[in-house]
């Protein structure tokens, strides 16, 4: 017996099969297409996300004889997906969390932050709905009339997997829409009124684990399984790192980089950071987290590969960046700047170039730029004695050492860096009784690499921060 965990990321779907001993016994992966119809716009076709999910799950199941007993789902957050409640077809492409089209919002940002824990920014689902209401009246009419469902990627996948029987989201995903009340744990009537979003279109908010939904065999590869775990990708990674206690922190280096600190049952509001639900227990109790979200991390390395063509594969960057940056500074604001700057209209900058600058210097500056973004939010979290890391880019030893040097903090990397998918599996396993307690989970994914701090480059810090502030 095993747990099937689906990680619906920004560029592809990862599926893992996790044994009772915590081993990844099988894995599947399928990319889907990114659409950029205008500068600053990022879209996905929901049907392509669904097709990639089916392919990824098929791949994983074909590689093992283990029979899944339950399903966990984790997902890119904030991305807005719409679908017809009857046909499950989408009336328009999904608007991705990276999308910048809804920059101007004439609302009381302080009140929005107080209620939701989130600043006004195109990052969140709320502003994407405002844009549709203002620009696509036919689509909006379907939402108002109750024909069209509104959700994030978790809700969409569950609707597809269940043949439309379930329209749900968990508290961690709901807390990223900017329509959720941190205080009450429900959709906020005040925020819904401010953003003019009809509650009837939104999913039911459920716990992050427990018996939440069931798949329909005719809709989902002949599988009839309970869905017993749901969480946004960064909250799932926090859970996958077993960061269960207040003060525990992790950073996931994926398309973006996301630093989260568990704050227990305390709702902490910090101006430059995000306050979010970490997870909700079946008894209704919630744990919260502070988050520093940076929009471009692994995506910067992809840009070196796909945009500049200075590497052929992402893993080549570590060797290429082994020398110093020689004064070159890269601020990777390719889709705006997130925490703690919150500049949605910012654009990336490459500074300090000379005739002697090479692709090696640019590669090093790229890794330093990724690490500097985390440096800028780290101190706002309060005292942290160690940082647990995961995500694809955390496999880059040079990046992790640069990060440790800048933070002057020990960086720990577990055996499995797919902590997002692991977290979804852990939640699902707890939700169906596959594992009995959080204590049982803590021994399943031990630390395999530790990076201890070396010299701190204060010149880099001063020059990079000055460049980011000046954008």
* Domains of the chain, residue spans: 2-234
Q: Is the pLDDT of residue 126 over 70?
A: yes
Q: Looking at residue 37, what is its pLDDT? A: 93
Q: Looking at residue 165, what is its pLDDT? A: 95
Q: pLDDT digit string (tens) for 208-221?
A: 999 999 999 999 99
- Only one residue has tokens 């960086």, namely 411
Q: pLDDT digit string (tens) for 22-45?
A: 888 999 999 999 999 998 899 999
Q: Is the pLDDT of residue 194 over 90?
A: yes
Q: pLDDT digit string (tens) for 378-429?
A: 888 877 778 999 988 999 999 999 999 999 999 999 888 888 999 999 999 9
Q: Looking at residue 36, what is its pLDDT? A: 93
Q: Is the pLDDT of residue 458 over 70?
A: yes
Q: Is the pLDDT of residue 56 over 70?
A: yes
Band of pLDDT at residue 103, cut at 50, 70 and 90: low
Say which CATH architecture domain 2-234 belongs to. 2-Layer Sandwich (3.30)
Q: Looking at residue 374, what is its pLDDT? A: 93
Q: What is the mean pLDDT of residues 417-444?
A: 92
Q: Is the pLDDT of residue 344 over 90?
A: no
Q: Looking at residue 104, what is its pLDDT? A: 73
Mean pLDDT value across the chain: 93
Q: Looking at residue 250, what is its pLDDT? A: 93
For residues 386 and 52, the model is more confident at 52
Write the secondary structure of the chain as one string of H (helix), E (strand) and C (coil).
Answer: CEEEEEEECCCEEEEEEEECCCCEEEEEEEECCCECCCCCCCEECHHHHHHHHHHHHHHHHHCCCCCEEEEEEEECCCCEEEEECCCCCCCCCEECCCCCCCCCCCCCHHHHHHHHCCCCCCCCHHHHHHHHHHHCHHHHHHHHCCCEEEECHHHHHHHHHCCCCCCEEEHHHHCCCCCECCCCCCECHHHHHHHCCCHHHCCEEECCEEEEEECCCCCCCCCCCEEEEEEEHHHHHHHHCCCCCCCCEEEEECCCEEEEEEEECCCCCCCCCEEEEEEECCCCCEEEEEEEEECCCHHHHHHHHHHHCCCCCHHHHHHHCCCCCCCCEEECCECEECCCCCECCCCCEEECCCCCCCHHHHHHHHHHHHHHHHHHHHHHHCCCCEEEEECHHHHCHHHHHHHHHHHCCEEEEECCCCHHHHHHHHHHHHHHCCCCCHHHHCCCCCEEEEECCCCCCHHHHHHHHHHHHHC
Q: CB under 8 Å to 470, separation ≥6 — which residues? A: none
Q: Which of 355, 380, 352, 378 is nearest to 464 (CA)?
A: 352
Lowest mean pLDDT among 41-55, 146-160, 411-425: 411-425
Q: What is the mean pLDDT of residues 152-169?
A: 97
Q: What is the mean pLDDT of residues 156-164?
A: 97
For residues 414 and 94, the model is more confident at 94
Band of pLDDT at residue 305, cut at 50, 70 and 90: very high
Q: Is the pLDDT of residue 130 over 90?
A: yes
Q: Is the pLDDT of residue 292 over 80?
A: yes
């Amino acid at each position: 017996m095993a747990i099937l965990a689906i990680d619906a990321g920004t560029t592809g779907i990862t599926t893992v099969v996790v044994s009772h001993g915590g081993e990844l016994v099988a894995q599947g992966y399928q990319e889907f297409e990114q659409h950029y119809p205008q500068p600053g716009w990022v879209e996905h076709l929901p049907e392509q996300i669904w097709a990639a999910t089916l392919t990824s799950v098929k791949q994983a199941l074909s590689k093992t004889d283990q029979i899944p007993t339950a399903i966990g789902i984790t997902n890119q957050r904030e991305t807005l997906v719409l679908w017809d409640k009857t046909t499950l077809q989408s009336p328009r492409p999904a608007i991705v969390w990276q999308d910048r089209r809804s920059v101007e919002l004439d609302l009381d940002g302080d009140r929005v932050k107080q209620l939701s824990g989130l600043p006004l920014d195109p990052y969140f689902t709320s502003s994407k709905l405002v844009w549709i209401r203002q620009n696509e009246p036919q689509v909006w009419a379907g939402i108002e009339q109750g024909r069209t469902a509104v959700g994030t990627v978790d809700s969409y996948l569950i609707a597809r997997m269940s043949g439309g029987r379930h329209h749900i989201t968990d508290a961690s995903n709901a807390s990223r829409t900017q329509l959720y009340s941190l205080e009450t744990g429900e959709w906020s009537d005040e925020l819904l009124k401010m953003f003019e979003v009809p509650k009837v279109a939104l999913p039911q908010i459920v716990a992050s684990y427990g018996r939440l939904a069931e798949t329909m065999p005719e809709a989902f590869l002949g599988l009839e399984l309970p869905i017993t775990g749901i969480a946004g990708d960064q909250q799932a990674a926090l859970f996958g790192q077993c960061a269960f206690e207040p003060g525990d922190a992790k950073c996931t280096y994926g398309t973006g980089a996301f630093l989260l600190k568990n704050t227990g049952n305390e709702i902490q509001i910090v101006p430059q950071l995000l306050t979010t639900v970490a997870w909700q227990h079946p008894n209704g109790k919630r744990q919260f987290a502070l988050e520093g979200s940076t929009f471009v991390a692994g995506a910067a390395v992809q840009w070196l590969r796909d945009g500049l063509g200075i590497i052929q594969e992402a893993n080549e960057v570590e060797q290429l960046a082994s020398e110093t940056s020689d004064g070159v500074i890269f601020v990777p604001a390719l889709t705006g700047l997130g925490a703690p700057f919150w500049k949605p209209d910012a654009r990336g900058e490459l500074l300090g170039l000379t005739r002697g600058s090479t692709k090696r210097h640019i590669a090093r500056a790229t890794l330093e730029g990724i690490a500097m973004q985390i440096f800028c939010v780290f101190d706002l979290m309060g005292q942290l004695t160690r940082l647990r890391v995961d995500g694809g880019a955390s496999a880059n030893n040079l990046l992790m050492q640069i990060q440790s040097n800048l933070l002057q903090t020990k960086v720990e990397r577990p055996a499995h860096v797919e902590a997002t998918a692991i977290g979804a599996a852990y939640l699902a396993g707890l939700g169906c009784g596959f594992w009995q307690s959080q204590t049982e989970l803590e021994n399943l994914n031990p630390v395999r690499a530790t990076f201890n701090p070396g010299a701190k480059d204060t010149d880099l810090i001063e020059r990079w921060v000055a460049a980011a502030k000046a954008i």
